[in-house]
Structure 1
Amino acid sequence: MKEELTYDEMQVGDTTTFGKTISESDVYAFAGITGDFNPMHVNEQIAKESMFKGRIAHGMISAGIISTTMTKAMHGGTPIYCSQELKFKAPVRIGDTITCTATIIEKIPEKHRLILSTVVTNQDGVVVTDGKAVMLKK
């Protein structure tokens, strides 16, 4: 999707992406902001003994990447992120580069809404988070 599309120009099938490498400081900052200090995120020793064999990032960090991608797709005006369905499919590890691809799957002009598929993959192409979002464009 072109970076400067207006709502009227946006069409079903248009996509936009955003990616970020997840750092240890991202995980600790998120834990501090949310109060989620689950040992799976902040305690290497406990996390090593888990099914993941090491620390993983909070799933909601990948949801935050989706939010950024959605805002990027809706330039100008005041886009409102109305809802998001999420399925966490695989862990995100510190050092992973995750990329969200948002694709318009439905446009509802009379309500100024877009329905988008949101897929977050890691650097190996593994889907880590899958979902669907609704955006309102005023």
Structure 2
Amino acid sequence: MLDNQPRGTICIEDIEMGMTRSLQKVVTDRDIEMFAEVSTDHNPVHLDDDYARDTIFQGRIAHGMLTAGLISAVIGEQLPGHGTVYMGQSLKFLAPVRPGDLVHAEVEVIDIDMSKRRVKLDCHCSIGGKKVLIGEATVLAPSRKFD
């Protein structure tokens, strides 16, 4: 995994509108196989070259939720980071992710409710500048007042 920003925690008191964080990761065959094991989703479009070749995708693709997990990694490790609690996430899948693709996952702060410690984040994943996943997340950010 190639991280663009440091990991850790940004407390609600320090979060600002427009703040962004991101990471990049090459999705590997091993990632897809491990995700299939953990999720119990063994759909052959993810695991079987012969089967996948005859689908609309014309080849194997990564699980959509594996790609979405990269958004979770940015939120849980960088913005807001450690101690963040997920409250909700919307996702729209725009294009497949294939083994070997370099995925860029990014989140941006688009709303802050200081009184409730809630942060709304615009989220997307892209490959070569083309968005493959978009969505929004709402999270409960950590606070120095509760350390």
Which band: TM-score by shorter chain?
A: over 0.9
Q: Does 1:74 align with 2:80?
A: yes
CA distance in 2, matches of 1:136, 1:51: 39
- Please give the alpha-carbon distance, in whole angstroms, between the structure 1 residues aligned to 2:84 and 2:98: 30
Matched ranges for 1:81-100 at <5 A: 81-100=86-105
2:110 corresponds to which residue?
105
**Structure 2 residue aligned with 1:129:** 133
- Whole-Å separation in 1 of the counterparts to 2:81 and 2:30: 29
* C-alpha contact (below 8 Å) 2:75/2:81 kept by paired residues: no
Aligned match of 1:29: 34
Aligned counterparts of 1:27 and 1:88: Cα–Cα separation in 2: 17
Distance 1:75 1:34 in 2: 24
Counterpart AA for 2:108: T
Structure 2 Cα separation of the partners of residues 28 and 119 of structure 1: 23
Identity %: 32
Q: TM-score, normalised by structure 1?
A: 0.92
AA matched with 2:141: K
What SS does the aligned partner of 1:36 have? coil
Is contact 2:61-2:96 (8 Å) kept?
Answer: yes
Alpha carbons 2:11, 2:141 under 8 Å: kept: no
- Displacement, 1:5? 3.7
Deviation digits for residues 21-59 of structure 1 (CA, Å, limit 9, x no counterpart): 000000000001111111100010010111111000000
Query: What is the distance in 2 between the residues matched to 1:14 and 1:33?
Result: 32
Give the CA deviation at 1:75.
Answer: 3.7
Match of 1:47 among 45, 52, 56: 52
In the alignment of these two chains, the number of paired residues is 135
Q: Which runs of 5+ in 1 are unaligned?
A: none
Q: TM-score, normalised by structure 2?
A: 0.87
Q: Which runs of 4+ in 1 moved over 2 A?
A: 2-6
Q: CA deviation at 1:15?
A: 0.4
Task: Map 1:9-20; keep pairs closer than 5 Å.
Answer: 9-20=14-25
Q: Can you give the 5+ residue segments of structure 2 that lack an aligned partner in the other structure? A: 143-147
CA distance in 1, matches of 2:98, 2:10: 34
Structure 2 distance, partners of 1:14, 1:89, is: 24
